[in-house]
Amino acid sequence: MDQYEDASLKTLGSIIPFAILAFIAVILRFYARRLVRAEWARDDWTSLLALFPTLGCFILSCLMVKYGSGKHVRVVSPANFEPYLQCLFAYELIYAHAILFIKTSVLMLYTRIFSTRKFKLVVMVVQAVIVAWYLAVVFVSIFSCNPTRGFWDKTLVPPAKCVSSKKFFVGNAIPNIVTDVVILALPINTVFGLQLRTTQKLSICFTFLLGIFVTVSSAVRLVAQFRVDEPDFTWAMNDTVIWTSIEPSLGLICACLPTMRPLLNSFTQASEKRSRRTTSYALSERSNPPQGSITRNGRGTWPLQTTESRSDLGRSETRSKIVVDTRIDIESSTEDTRQILHRVV
């Protein structure tokens, strides 16, 4: 093993793109609501609230890289150990806030789209479980060592008594993954009960199931956390640092994607308009041939526009009036179905 290995660039290269995309996703979410002149809803404001701890996780990851994450402990200055562990302590608290607000935003979006009493009751139960998880994580994070400062101050005499970091992280991650799966599954049954074509149902389900990427990142983070108790902690913790930043960023991105339908519609309509303008221009060029005449052996003229050209003009005018409507027909759906399809915007 090369004790001078340095994974700092790998860490930064992994977390920076996701943090930027999370920021952009929230901005686009609000812009999409503005685009259709819809009022900003509670789930929108909660996603904005979630952005701050999500970016906090990113900033703490960068600070941990500064203090030695991604390097072997032998080459890290002992003076960096205390600020490194202080960042880790803050990380546990801010991560819990990010996950709480992201999942709450998703559940609020669900209740805005699916308004049945039974569905709302299930959402309330899931929300209660998430809040209980959040309170447990915050409590154990703050009091994981006795005294609390013993988490980062290893010079205390007598040494502080601390909970096993490995047990804490694993106990934190498993309920988090379980609630991820439950949130993914919540809307599926309701969507398949709608009076829509199968392709439309699958399309809506696909939008909600994008959150599976968050569940995968949570699982990868869980696997990485089995190494956190190793003596070479600045190196062993690095994968946990990476995925603890990526997970909330990815979660926020996926929470915002279902609300971006107006942006997709706007882009599609703009593309169709450009295509129609191009087609109309080409047809007008064909239907307006050059006018004039040519000399015939010095004894007369022939017009450039022939009978065939005039015939083509007539056909072109007919074609130019054809408009293709590609909008989805949901007239056969019930009123409830139509409302559900439009509540997402």
Give the H/E segment covering residue 268: helix 261-287
pLDDT over 90 (residue 301): no
CA 123 to chain centroid: 21
Tell me what pLDDT residue 283 has.
58
Reduced to 3 states, what is the DSSP secondary structure of residue 312?
A: helix
Tell me what pLDDT residue 302 has.
47
Digit-coded pLDDT (tens) for 66-105: 999 999 999 999 999 999 999 999 999 999 999 999 999 9
Digit-coded pLDDT (tens) for 23-68: 999 999 999 988 888 788 999 999 999 999 999 999 999 999 999 9
Q: Decide: 237 and 228 in contact? Cβ < 8 Å.
A: yes
CATH 1.20.1070-classified regions of the chain: 8-261
Cα Rg of the chain (Å, integer): 30
Considering only 117-126, 239-248, 267-276, which range has the smallest mean pLDDT? Answer: 267-276
Tell me what pLDDT residue 198 has.
82
What's the mean pLDDT when you consider all of the chain?
82
Q: Decide: 221 and 13 in contact? Cβ < 8 Å.
A: no
Structure tokens at 187: 């809307």
pLDDT over 50 (residue 148): yes
Tell which wins on pLDDT, 234 or 208: 234
Tell me what pLDDT residue 342 has.
53
Tell me what pLDDT residue 1 has.
57
Tell me what pLDDT residue 314 has.
47
204 confidence band (pLDDT: 50, 70, 90) = confident
225 confidence band (pLDDT: 50, 70, 90) = confident
Tell me what pLDDT residue 306 has.
44
Structure tokens at 136: 């447990």
pLDDT over 70 (residue 297): no
Tell which wins on pLDDT, 206 or 234: 234
226 confidence band (pLDDT: 50, 70, 90) = confident
Q: Which CATH architecture has domain 8-261?
A: Up-down Bundle (1.20)
Tell me what pLDDT residue 331 has.
37
Reduced to 3 states, what is the DSSP secondary structure of residue 323?
A: coil
- 58, with CB counted inside 10 A (0-12, 13-18, 19+), is buried
Tell me what pLDDT residue 322 has.
36
Structure tokens at 235: 């190196």
Tell me what pLDDT residue 52 has.
98
